[in-house]
Amino acid sequence: MESLQRSAISFRRQGSSGYVWDDKFLADQFNKVANERKEESSTSTTTEENKEDPIPIATAAKKSPPPPAGLAIDRSRSNGGRGFRTGKVSPAVEPPSPRVSAFGCCGAFGKREKTRRRPPKSGKRVIGDGITDDSKILQDVWKVACSMSSSPAKIVIPSGNSYLVNPTNLGGPCNSHVTLSISGTIVAPREPEVWDAFDALKWLYFHDVNDLTVEGDGAINGMGQKWWDQSCKRNKSHPCTNAPRAITFHKCNNLKIRDITLVNSQKNHLVFTNCRHVAASRLRVIAPSDSPNTDGVHISESTHVQLKDSTIATGDDCVSIVSNSTRISINNVICGPGHGISIGSLGKSKSSATVHDIVVDGVTMFDTENGVRIKTWQGGSGYAQKIIFRNIKMRNVSNPIIIDQYYCDSSSPCANQTSAVSIDSISFRNIKGTSATEEAITLSCSDSHPCKKLYLDDIELVSLSGTAKSFCWKAYGTSSGLIRPPSCLSSPETIFLPNIKSEPTRVESDDDRASI
């Protein structure tokens, strides 16, 4: 049975809000579907019975492509009697909420079977075996959902199966709010050669979609191992080539992403570019500590972004915030292993960059190569300002507090240059824990553009390898409370006297502190 079509007997009554499901009828149909699937797995030839002619999608969506075979599609029961239902549905799945339309993508039909190692001999297409390409099904369902104008749409990727998806473009604008609910596992092609025919910089690419929600307890697996093996960072004899980002949201406003697990991305796991008003929460991002360039969350040219209640363990920055990003909030995040939380890098190749109004609050870090960091290239321009790092716990963290205006991620030394991204109004407050290096505080600022209005408050960092130290160069500001290791900031009055040697000091005054 390919699909369950709307039928007069599938409804027992019609009320003011539209049709009401006849649960008994549907249960019978679900059992039939489950039995058919069981028979299909035990024989190479299956005879389809009681096959009905497809019924067109409701009038509001007549121009939309019909749903592919094997997909479950639900529409709202509160839509004036225009609801419809088609496709194979698991007996364990209840009818959708009366107020939410739902598209079930790649449905699980009855009891879960063991994953097939090869396509069935019958030649029938298998959805969700992790081997067969399910890209077109996802794209077709997305088009249907995106075209709906009468009510919100929900795409459901069921649990219990893996869905192989090649690089896929999921674009807008959409006519209504779309929710992508992932309970199963989406996997990328394992072999880098497969990507030759695609855009090698993107895997799952969402763009120009407003009011999108991505949620669920499923996983998105980038299958990045072979990409890492051929990276020049892992093997110096290999040429340096680019790799895909797992999920990119571009020009997506009022975006919500929650409860998803992302693992083993080829490069960055989750990227926001040119987005406005983003709420990301309860995410789990996981990759080996030696996997190159696998940033957890990368934010670029975006504003009003909040990341909270998440766990990130990767081979690069847990969170990186780069050019032209503002009003970013990072709350209650566990980071480690990885490279810490970074502002930058900024100003590469003499570019201009601006980052401001950033708050990193309530973060726990362990076994990271850096703690909280601002990194800029020589030769750039612009500024990083009004940034707060506060209430941070660290365990075995190298470089717990670091500003590096001489950042150089190059195989050859970077030339000294006079221009720089300016840094001012930066606060480090209530940061405590253990440092894996003796130098627990490093504030290395530009000769031509010194750091200004730095503020240290209640810092207690103990080195595991000896006495903790601090280092400052052209770093001006104030400190208060307990500062351990002792502050090395130069007082603001000396900023125009570059020939005066900066001595380690502990300043108790609150004057001229960074005000964010």
How far apart are alpha carbons 270 and 249 in whole angstroms?
8
Q: What angle do CA 405, 311, 271 make, to 5 degrees?
A: 60
How far apart are alpha carbons 257 and 250 in whole angstroms?
14
Residue 337 preceded by cis peptide, ω within 30: yes
Please choose, from the candidates 68, 67, 32, the residue with its C-alpha nearest in 3D space to the C-alpha of residue 51.
32
Using DSSP, state whether 175 is helix, strand or coil: coil
Contact 291, 228 (CB under 8 A): yes
How far apart are alpha carbons 76 and 516 in whole angstroms?
47
How far apart are alpha carbons 399 and 439 in whole angstroms?
7
**Residue 339 is a catalytic residue:** yes
Going by their DSSP bridges, the two strands 270-273 and 284-286 should be labelled as unpaired
Residue-wise DSSP of 380-396: -EEEEEEEEEEEEEEEE
How far apart are alpha carbons 457 and 478 in whole angstroms?
9
Contact 246, 270 (CB under 8 A): yes
Residue 54 preceded by cis peptide, ω within 30: no
Alpha-carbon distances of 263 from 246, 267, 270, 285, rounded to whole Å: 9, 11, 10, 6
- Which residue in the list 177, 207, 250, 339 is annotated as catalytic? 339
Tokens of 53: 């002619």
User: Which are the catalytic amino acids?
Assistant: 339
